[in-house]
Amino acid sequence: MSTTPESTPGSTPSTLRSVGGGGVAGLGAALFGYLVTYLLSSSTIENSTASQVLEALGSDISTWKVVGWVFMSAHGVTTRFPGLFGTTSSANLIENVEAFSPVLYVVPVVALLAAGALAAVVSGASSPQEGALAGVGTTVGYLVFALAGIALFTVSVGDAAISPDPVTSALLAGVAYPAVLGTVGGVAATALR
């Protein structure tokens, strides 16, 4: 009686399936987190004085892009703004704009814990190690979203740009958050089974 490579624990096809499933769950978590952030903050953005001033000046800053800055801020990522004389300043919008609720910090945490748990369940993980592997796979999809967000959430203002900080977007939002929280979610799902 022989076993196929796909059914052997720890085999490459099984590992790829776990990581691939985690990647899909990670991308889903990022999209879900962005959507929840949009629902919680878009009206605040549209009704803000800053938005009305920018609109009057003819700026093309769309609400969905500002929501992207807020979503990235929920991961601790700052948004870079052009300053005077070619300088750049950075700010975490949730921390520095009173209109945004600190509850927004919870959105990526819950989304990634759920994604890690879902990845573990879908992959059939039966041990904490397998759950961790499936959960850490969320990093793949979440990193794709974070890297795309750097470009998608950038707004040109004259010769300068407003955008999420690319380094912290990639490392903090794209790697650290999903690696830790996805893994915890995956391990928790297998421990509770």
- Locate the domains of the chain by residue range: 30-192
Residue 138: the pLDDT is 96
Residues facing residue 157 across a β-bridge: 160
pLDDT digits (tens, 9 = 90+) for 52-87: 656 654 566 788 999 999 999 999 999 998 876 667
C-beta separation of 155 from 162 below 8 A: yes
Both structure tokens of 104: 């927004």
Q: Does the pLDDT at position 26 exceed 60?
A: yes
Q: Which helix (H) or strand (E) holds 90?
A: strand 88-91
Residue 2: the pLDDT is 41
Both structure tokens of 168: 């912290």
Instruction: Name the residue with higher pLDDT: 118 or 20.
Output: 118
Both structure tokens of 124: 């059939």
Query: Measured in whole angstroms, how far is the alpha carbon of residue 160 from the centre of its chain?
Result: 25
Question: How many Å apart are CA 91 and CA 22, to the nearest integer?
Answer: 31
| Percent of the chain at pLDDT exceeding 70 | 83
Residue 82: the pLDDT is 83
Please state the rounded mean pLDDT for residues 36-61: 77
Residue 52: the pLDDT is 64
Residue 75: the pLDDT is 98
Question: How many Å apart are CA 98 and CA 96, to the nearest integer?
Answer: 6
Running DSSP on this structure, what letter comes out for residue 155?
E
Residue 8: the pLDDT is 46
Question: How many Å apart are CA 26 and CA 143, to the nearest integer?
Answer: 8
| Percent of the chain at pLDDT exceeding 90 | 66
Residue 53: the pLDDT is 59
Please state the rounded mean pLDDT for residues 16-41: 91
C-beta separation of 147 from 178 below 8 A: no
Running DSSP on this structure, what letter comes out for residue 173?
I
Please state the rounded mean pLDDT for residues 73-102: 89
Both ends of the chain: CA-CA distance in Å?
A: 30
From 184, 187, 185, 192, select the one nearest 131 (Cα to Cα): 187
